[in-house]
């Protein structure tokens, strides 16, 4: 029943805000590369976004289109990659219910990724987390398996989620027979990018991000406010580029020669921070230009964006329907079938 040769990537984003350069270096860049090698499905995880935004559905709705445009802007080709809406693939909800019998509450509570996220979401849940949030790894397992996903690109911090999914698949297959594909984590070149304020994480909620949709003016303004070596008061004070976010981003957006000049001139007190920032802003604007241009193209064509999402969703629905047929047959839920 299971074709061992089958390879399909399933990955996605929660529509809770626009995507930023942290996402670009962390996953999107990799995603674009992989679409040439694998059949790729990108889900816009609106149901998952509601697990901790259940009281703000408008925010989730508004960001669905932004997420689609960000993915297209970085170079996801709708002819190679399928972008679809999670809430429209109803089999995911059904599978989540079936899988919930195969996972214990204690196992979910022990999942390191879930534990960390619950700790970070105290302002949403207070002391008591919801059933929906605690169980989101189960619905994620449903997302992956509904589409017969075999490869899931993740960062190291998300490995426990894939392990949880694999456990569910193994348990399902051992009880009901070989029905589901057991996915593997794909650890690509996931770089974690620090925020403009030096925070280890660039985050939508931390206010320290450069968005793929930012204009040239916004990029310049944000770079001019980035954290530099605080000990540097005058231009000829020797600086330490290792503790400066401007130098950190030069290493991502400037060529080798410029990176070396930044370091040596900063250490020698021969470089002004303002000029250093301006140069970075210029390089960043240039590097992100193709993304901004593609994004603008789609911003001006909302009907085309909608069409891409609708067509992608239809394709995903078809695959999920096939999976559900196998699952129901395996679970003896095919009462009216001859």
Q: Which residues here bind ligand SF4, judged by CB under 6 A?
A: 228-229, 232, 239, 241, 244, 246-247, 262, 266, 271, 273, 276-277
- Cα-flanking dihedrals φ and ψ of residue 20, to 5°? -125, -175
User: Quick check: 30 and 153 in contact, CB under 8 A?
Assistant: yes
Contact yes or no for 188/26 (Cβ under 8 A): no
Element (H, E) at 184: strand 184-186
Question: Least distance from C-beta 316 to ligand SF4, angstroms?
Answer: 46
Query: Which residue, 246 or 288, has its beta carbon nearer to ligand SF4?
Result: 246
Q: How far is the CB of 24 from ligand SF4 (least distance, A)?
A: 22
Closer to ligand SF4 at the Cβ: 14 or 250? 250
User: Of 27 and 228, which CB lies nearer to ligand SF4 in the complex structure?
Assistant: 228
- Measured from the CB of residue 249, what is the shortest distance to ligand SF4 in angstroms? 10
CB of 190 to ligand SF4, least distance (A): 26
Q: Which is nearer to ligand SF4, 226 or 324 (CB)?
A: 226
Token reading at 63: 């960001």
Nearer to ligand SF4, 53 or 254 (CB): 254
- Residue whose token pair is 């450069």: 210
Q: How far is the C-alpha of 25 from the C-alpha of 54, rounded, in Å? A: 29
304-311 own/partner pairs: CB under 8 Å, 24+ apart: 305/65, 305/68, 305/69, 305/72, 306/65, 308/68, 308/72, 308/78, 308/83, 309/44, 309/64, 309/68, 309/83, 309/84, 309/85, 311/78
Helices (H), the chain: 21-23, 29-34, 46-51, 57-73, 91-99, 105-110, 112-120, 122-125, 131-134, 136-146, 159-176, 216-224, 245-253, 256-267, 273-299, 302-330
**Residue 244 Cβ vs ligand SF4, minimum distance, rounded to whole Å:** 3
Shortest Å distance, C-beta 225 to ligand SF4:
12
- 9 strand-pairing partners: 40, 151
Residue closer to ligand SF4 by CB (options 139, 228) is 228
Q: Which is nearer to ligand SF4, 76 or 273 (CB)?
A: 273
Taking the complex as a whole, the smallest distance from the CB of residue 264 to ligand SF4 amounts, in Å, to 10
- Which of 308, 259, 284, 221 is CA-nearest to residue 25? 284
């Amino acid at each position: 029943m299971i074709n061992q040769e089958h390879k399909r990537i399933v990955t996605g984003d929660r529509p809770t805000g626009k995507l930023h350069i942290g996402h670009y270096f962390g996953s999107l860049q990799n995603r674009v590369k992989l679409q040439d090698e694998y059949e790729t499905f990108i889900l816009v995880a609106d149901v998952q976004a509601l697990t901790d935004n259940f009281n703000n559905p408008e925010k989730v709705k508004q960001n669905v289109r932004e997420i689609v445009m960000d993915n297209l802007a970085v170079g996801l080709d709708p002819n190679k990659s399928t972008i679809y809406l999670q809430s429209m693939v109803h089999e995911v909800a059904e599978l989540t219910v079936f899988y919930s019998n195969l996972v214990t509450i204690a196992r979910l509570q022990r999942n390191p990724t879930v534990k960390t996220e619950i700790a970070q979401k105290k302002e949403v849940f207070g002391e008591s987390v919801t059933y929906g949030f605690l169980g989101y790894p189960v619905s994620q397992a449903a997302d992956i398996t509904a589409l017969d996903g075999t490869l899931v690109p993740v960062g190291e911090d998300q490995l426990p989620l894939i392990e949880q999914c694999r456990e569910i698949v193994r348990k399902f297959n051992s009880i009901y027979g070989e029905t589901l594909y057991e996915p593997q984590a794909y650890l690509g070149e996931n770089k974690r990018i620090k925020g403009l304020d030096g925070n280890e994480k660039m985050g939508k909620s931390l206010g320290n991000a450069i968005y793929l949709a930012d204009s040239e003016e916004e990029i310049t303004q944000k770079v001019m406010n980035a954290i530099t070596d605080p000990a540097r008061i005058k231009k000829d004070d020797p600086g330490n580029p290792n503790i400066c976010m401007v130098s950190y981003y030069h290493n991502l957006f400037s060529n080798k020669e410029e990176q070396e000049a930044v370091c040596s001139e900063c250490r020698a007190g021969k470089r002004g921070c303002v000029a250093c920032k301006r140069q970075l802003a210029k390089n960043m604007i240039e590097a992100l230009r193709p993304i901004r241009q593609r994004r603008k193209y789609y911003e001006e064509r909302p009907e085309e964006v909608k069409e891409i999402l609708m067509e992608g969703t239809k394709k995903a629905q078809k695959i999920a329907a096939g999976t559900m047929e196998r699952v129901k047959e395996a679970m003896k839920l095919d009462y009216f079938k001859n």
